[in-house]
């Protein structure tokens, strides 16, 4: 056997010649046992006359014009490299930038294609002769490992902070460990950016980090020294263990042991801990020195993008960090840690970033060069080439000038890497999203997709579905084409059009957006909806007593006059209001906190009870009326019923509502998407109930169920449009055939569902 191989921008090109049987065996072996971390999206084989070559050669990369080779994602340190750095006689003993073809930085160092050292931030590190020899030897596991390096020729560590002189290399690591042991806050430059680290067991140190970073209560992720340490803190299923130890090495949300020795301030009132394991040699070496878990949260001030450059970090994190552990390998672009939770033994990637990005999601239909601009919160961008949809790393909330700048940079990043400018843009319907304004400024050929339709489409993209489907989009909020705030929607998607076939009963949000930070305002709106002004005088209700009398009167008047009180069908706001009524949370310290507290209030054991609700007909659609639930709940509150029991009843009612609508619909393929399905109980019980009804159920697994998935849904809309007509059809954005009517009189009850057990299958 002889031949050659070379990297091209379109993929790997291999020529082999030899006896026919050997060639066949080679092809089989390549497909069945590809090299570790290789991802083959397609193989094309063609025959050629033999050339009588001798030996097997690697040819220099060829920079062609059609760029379609995949850019690899960053990979956690492999066991062999770990062994190298632990062995005192190895020349890479304790070297924090050790890597090989099976592990190391990729996307975070790539500046251009093809993926060769000269096109990465390793360009300026000239390999020493020993590294070069490994790089050139096909039998070496560092053969063509682009970031290959050693203490002689590669990146170096440095430490600055405190009054002592700066330190280098191993001494720098020792100083950083000293700082953490003493309860100090360390800014550490890792793979895709900076982490802020602090001893996760140290209550005062964690509180100090929160104060300085301006992060009040949102849970902080921790890095455990190793798997055994993680198992001491949390209980792990085998699926959770698998993802924790995977080469993607995400943060996995794990059930904490009640007595885990972790400071309360890490994740206050939260039964879960976000845990990751060390994923670079630097992390392994540092955590090995410490042998205790550290908080590892992104290096930024709250709501700003993560720092990834030394100079910027030294300024931006000054006043937060007590010391900086830096290195001189530039990061090409910031890549945050990914977040995964396991529900029904399946992963849900809640934040798809390091380790996953920029590997594509395969669309069921091609969409040529479409740029999806995403939403507003947890923003991402998607770019499609044929059937590959590349979703960007997590870009955070587009609420500061800094985040917008990072967003703007990322818009151009993938099209530039692939050398293919987008020909079409797709954005959200919301006129005030920063992403919408960017899209409008940049595109002549732009179309807009309703937010919750995009949620449904993201699942269709991920699971290669082309419809028809019925999508349940339960979410925080999104702009509805009727000018109200949507978020509790049932959307039938077929071909390139959709219709809103059912939704939650709307209520008014006093103060509009302010309700996101004040769940008690949602409660107010719900009480007003059902009881009118009288609802705001009910004695002893937690949301009412939490207000100053004056404020309550002002909000009451606003509701009566309909001033700045937008109507909403949002499931997220409904959960907020219910959480507030239960007395769990009146003001939220981060988005979704109240709804999360409602989930965390669930009892350990299964409770089958549910509250009653009504399914009503309105125009050509259905309305889920939660009034009977609210009324019964108030009776429970008055009778001081167990809050945990009430939380279970609420959840079961929501499941039963979904089942009730689905039973009236012909679609046998169902989709669950939107931020509310981050709620494990709601998701798991809905899936089970729908499966019991004989339906196929899909939800976001490898793409975010929250607004991180919106950009993918937008690209999917373009794919469906192209398939239908050869051009983009606008049906998915046209006015729905069902528009919400505000009049209560027009509704009439279809059924009253007084379920005793949540999520009964269809009769
Ligand atoms: Zn390795
Ligand atoms: Zn070297
Ligand atoms: Fe959303």
Secondary structure letter of residue 377 according to DSSP: S
> Looking at the CA of 78, which ligand is closest?
1
pLDDT at 757: 43
What value does the mean pLDDT take over residues 693-703?
A: 97
Q: What is the mean pLDDT of residues 272-286?
A: 98
Distance of CA 151 to CAs 125, 140, 165, 326, 539, Å? 11, 19, 22, 15, 71
Taking the centre of ligand 2 as the mean of its atom positions, its distance from the CA of residue 84, in whole angstroms, is: 14
* Nearest bound ligand to the CA of residue 98: 1
DSSP 321-347: BSEEEEESS--SS--PPPEEEEETTEE
Ligand nearest to the CA of residue 247, numbered in listed order? 1
Q: How far is the CA of 87 from the centre of ligand 1 (A)?
A: 14
Ligand 1 center to 375 CA (angstroms): 37
Residue 750 has pLDDT above 80, yes or no: no
CA of 134 to the centre of ligand 1 (A): 13
Cis peptide before 114 (omega within 30 of 0): yes
| CA of 151, nearest ligand number | 2
What is the mean predicted confidence (pLDDT) over 3-28? 82
Ligand 3 mean position to 661 CA, how many Å? 21
Contact residues for 283 (Cβ-Cβ < 8 A; gap 6+): 190, 223
What local confidence, expressed as pLDDT, does residue 498 receive?
A: 92
Say how many Å lie between the CA of residue 245 and the centre of ligand 1: 14
- The domain segmentation of the chain, as residue ranges, is 2-58, 73-350, 351-467+702-734
| pLDDT single digits (tens) 583-642 | 999 999 998 999 999 999 999 999 999 999 999 999 889 999 999 999 999 999 999 999
Distance (Å) from CA 136 to ligand 1 centroid: 17
Q: What is the pLDDT of residue 19?
A: 87
pLDDT recorded at residue 9: 67
| Tens of pLDDT, residues 734-748 | 333 322 333 233 344
Q: What is the rounded distance in angstroms from the CA atom of residue 201 to the CA atom of residue 199?
A: 5
Q: What is the mean pLDDT of residues 58-70?
A: 67
CATH code reported for the domain at 351-467+702-734? 3.30.420.360
Q: How many Cα atoms sit within 13 Å of 141 on the Cβ side?
A: 14
Ligand 2 centroid to residue 125 C-alpha, Å = 9
Distance 376 CA to ligand 3 centre (A): 9
Ligand nearest to the CA of 572: 3
Which ligand neighbours the alpha carbon of 84 most closely?
1
Q: How confident is the model at residue 731 (pLDDT cuts 50, 70, 90)?
A: low
**Which positions ≥6 away from 335 have C-beta within 8 Å?**
74, 107, 108, 191, 192, 193, 353, 354, 357, 393
Task: Give residue 23's pLDDT.
Answer: 86
Return the SS3 of 486. strand
| Weakest mean pLDDT among 23-27, 721-725, 738-742 | 738-742
pLDDT tens readout for residues 668-680: 999 999 999 999 9
Closest ligand to the CA of 130: 2
- pLDDT the model gives residue 732: 61
Q: How far is the CA of 287 from the centre of ligand 1 (A)?
A: 18
CATH match of 73-350 with 3.90.870.30: yes
User: Hey, what are 692's tokens?
Assistant: 């019991």
Say how many Å lie between the first and final Cα of the chain, rounded.
65
Nearest bound ligand to the CA of residue 453: 3
Question: Each residue of 644-664: pLDDT tens digit?
Answer: 999 999 999 999 999 999 999
What local confidence, expressed as pLDDT, does residue 82 receive? 98
pTM for this entry: 0.91
- Ligand 3 is an ion; its neighbours by CB within 5 Å are 475, 707
According to the model, what pLDDT value does residue 266 have? 98
Distance from Cα 638 to the centre of ligand 1, integer Å: 62
Q: What angle do CA 468, 470, 471 make, to 5 degrees?
A: 120
Report the separation in Å between the CA atom of 96 and the middle of ligand 2, taken as the mean of its atom positions: 13
State in Å: Cα 71 to ligand 1 middle.
18
Residue 150 alpha carbon to ligand 2 centre in Å: 4
Q: Cα(103) to centroid of ligand 1, in Å?
A: 4
Mean pLDDT, residues 417-437: 93
- Which helix H or strand E contains 471, and what residues bound it? strand 469-479
Q: From the CA of 76, which ligand is nearest?
A: 1
Give CA–CA dist 10/70, Å, rounded.
Answer: 8
Which ligand is closest in space to the CA of residue 103? 1
Cβ contact 303:396 at 8 Å: yes
Mean pLDDT of the 171-181 span? 98
* Dist. CA 678 → ligand 3 center (Å): 11
Which ligand is nearest the CA of 709, by number?
3
pLDDT per residue over 141-160, tens digit each? 999 999 999 999 999 999 99
Q: How far is the CA of 666 from the centre of ligand 3 (A)?
A: 26
Other C-beta atoms within 10 Å of 40: how many?
12
Which pLDDT does position 63 carry in this prediction?
59
Q: Residue 359: name the closest of 626, 8, 74 by CA.
A: 74
Q: How far is the CA of 76 from the centre of ligand 1 (A)?
A: 8
Among the listed residues 596, 603, 633, 630, the one whose alpha carbon sits nearest the alpha carbon of residue 614: 630
**pLDDT band of 728, cuts 50, 70, 90:** very low
Residue-wise pLDDT for 66-82, tens only, equals: 566 789 999 999 999 99
Instruction: Starting from the CA of residue 678, give the closest ligand.
Output: 3
Query: Across the chain, what does the average pLDDT equal?
Result: 91
676 CA from centroid of ligand 3 (Å): 9
H/E stretch holding 130 reads: helix 129-136
Task: Give me ligand 2 centre to Cα 288, in Å.
Answer: 24
Centre of ligand 3 from the C-alpha of residue 30, in Å: 41
pLDDT value, residue 736 = 33
**How far apart are the CA of 151 and the centre of ligand 2, in A?**
6
| Predicted local distance difference test score (pLDDT) of residue 735 | 34
Ligand positioned closest to the Cα atom of 100: 1
Nearest ligand for residue 37 CA: 1
Ligand at minimal distance from the CA of 128 is 2
Neighbour-count burial for 5-16, b at 16+ CB within 10 Å, e otherwise? eebbbebebebb
User: What's the 706 CA to ligand 3 centre distance in angstroms?
Assistant: 6
Mean pLDDT score, 234-244: 97
Q: What percent of the chain has pLDDT over 90?
A: 80
Q: Check whether 65 has a pLDDT greater than 60.
A: no
């Amino acid at each position: 056997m002889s031949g050659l191989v070379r990297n091209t921008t379109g993929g790997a090109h291999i020529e082999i010649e030899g006896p026919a049987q050997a060639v066949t065996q080679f092809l089989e072996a390549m497909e069945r046992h590809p090299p570790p971390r290789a991802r083959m999206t397609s193989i094309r084989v063609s025959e050629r006359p033999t050339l009588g070559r001798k030996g097997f050669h690697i040819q220099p990369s060829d920079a062609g014009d059609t760029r379609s080779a995949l850019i690899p994602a960053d990979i956690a340190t492999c066991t062999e490299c770990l062994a190298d750095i632990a062995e005192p006689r190895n020349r890479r003993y304790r070297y924090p930038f050790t890597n090989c073809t099976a592990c190391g930085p990729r996307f975070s160092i790539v500046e251009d294609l093809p993926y060769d050292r000269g096109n990465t931030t390793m360009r300026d590190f000239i390999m020493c002769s020993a590294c070069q020899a490994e790089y050139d030897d096909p039998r070496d596991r560092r053969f063509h490992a682009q970031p290959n390096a050693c203490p002689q020729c590669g990146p170096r560590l440095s430490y600055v902070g405190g009054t002592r002189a700066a330190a280098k290399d191993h001494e720098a690591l020792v100083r950083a460990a000293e700082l953490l042991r003493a309860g100090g806050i360390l800014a550490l430059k890792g793979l895709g950016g900076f982490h802020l680290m602090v001893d996760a067991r140290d209550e005062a140190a964690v509180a100090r980090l929160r104060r300085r970073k301006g992060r009040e209560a949102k849970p902080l992720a921790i890095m455990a020294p190793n798997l055994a340490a993680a198992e001491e803190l949390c209980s792990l299923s085998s699926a959770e263990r698998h993802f924790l130890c995977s080469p993607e090495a995400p943060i996995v949300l794990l059930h904490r042991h009640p007595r885990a020795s972790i400071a309360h301030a890490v994740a206050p009132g939260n039964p879960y801990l976000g845990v990751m394991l060390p994923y670079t040699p630097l992390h392994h070496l540092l955590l090995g020195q410490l042998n205790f878990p550290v908080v590892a949260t992104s290096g930024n001030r709250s709501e700003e993008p993560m720092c990834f450059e030394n100079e910027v970090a030294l300024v931006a994190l000054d006043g937060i960090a007590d010391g900086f552990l830096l290195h001189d390998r530039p990061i090409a672009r910031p890549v945050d840690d990914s977040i995964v939770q396991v529900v029904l033994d399946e992963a849900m990637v809640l934040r798809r970033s390091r380790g996953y990005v920029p590997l594509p999601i395969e669309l069921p239909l091609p969409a040529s060069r479409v740029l999806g601009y995403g939403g507003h919160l947890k923003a991402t961008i998607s770019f499609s080439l044929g059937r590959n949809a590349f979703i960007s790393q997590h870009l955070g909330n587009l609420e500061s000038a800094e985040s917008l700048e990072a967003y703007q940079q990322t818009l151009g990043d993938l099209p530039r890497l692939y050398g293919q400018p987008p020909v079409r843009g797709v954005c959200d319907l919301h006129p005030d999203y920063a992403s919408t304004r960017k899209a409008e400024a940049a595109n002549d050929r732009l179309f807009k997709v309703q937010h919750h339709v995009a949620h449904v489409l993201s699942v269709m993209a991920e699971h290669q579905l082309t419809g028809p489907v019925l999508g349940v989009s339960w979410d925080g909020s999104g702009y509805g084409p009727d000018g109200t705030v949507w978020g509790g929607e049932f959307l039938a998607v077929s071909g390139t059009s959709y219709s809103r076939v059912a939704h939650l009963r709307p209520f008014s949000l006093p103060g509009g957006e302010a309700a996101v930070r004040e769940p008690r305002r949602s409660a107010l709106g719900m009480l007003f909806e059902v009881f009118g002004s009288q609802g705001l005088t009910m004695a002893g209700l937690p949301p009412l007593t939490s207000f100053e009398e004056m404020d309550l009167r002002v909000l009451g008047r606003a509701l009566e006059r309909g001033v700045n009180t937008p109507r909403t069908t949002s499931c997220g706001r409904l959960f907020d209001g219910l959480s507030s009524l239960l007395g769990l949370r009146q003001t939220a310290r981060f988005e979704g906190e109240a709804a999360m507290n409602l989930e965390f209030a669930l009892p350990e054991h299964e409770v089958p009870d549910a509250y009653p609700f009504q399914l009503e007909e309105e125009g050509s659609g259905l309305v889920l009326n939660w009034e009977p639930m609210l009324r019964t709940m108030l009776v429970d509150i008055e009778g001081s019923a167990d809050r945990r029991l009430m939380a279970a009843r609420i959840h079961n009612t929501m499941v039963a509502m979904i089942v009730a609508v689905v039973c009236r619909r012909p679609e046998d393929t169902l989709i669950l998407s939107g931020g509310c399905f981050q709620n494990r109980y709601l998701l798991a019980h809905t899936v089970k109930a729908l499966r019991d009804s004989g339906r196929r159920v899909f939800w976001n697994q490898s793409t975010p169920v929250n607004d991180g998935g919106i950009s993918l849904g937008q690209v999917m809309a373009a794919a469906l449009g192209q398939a239908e007509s050869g051009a983009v059809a606008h049906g998915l954005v046209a006015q729905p055939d069902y528009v919400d009517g505000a009049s209560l009189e027009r509704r009439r009850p279809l059924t009253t569902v007084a379920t005793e057990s949540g999520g009964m299958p269809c009769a």
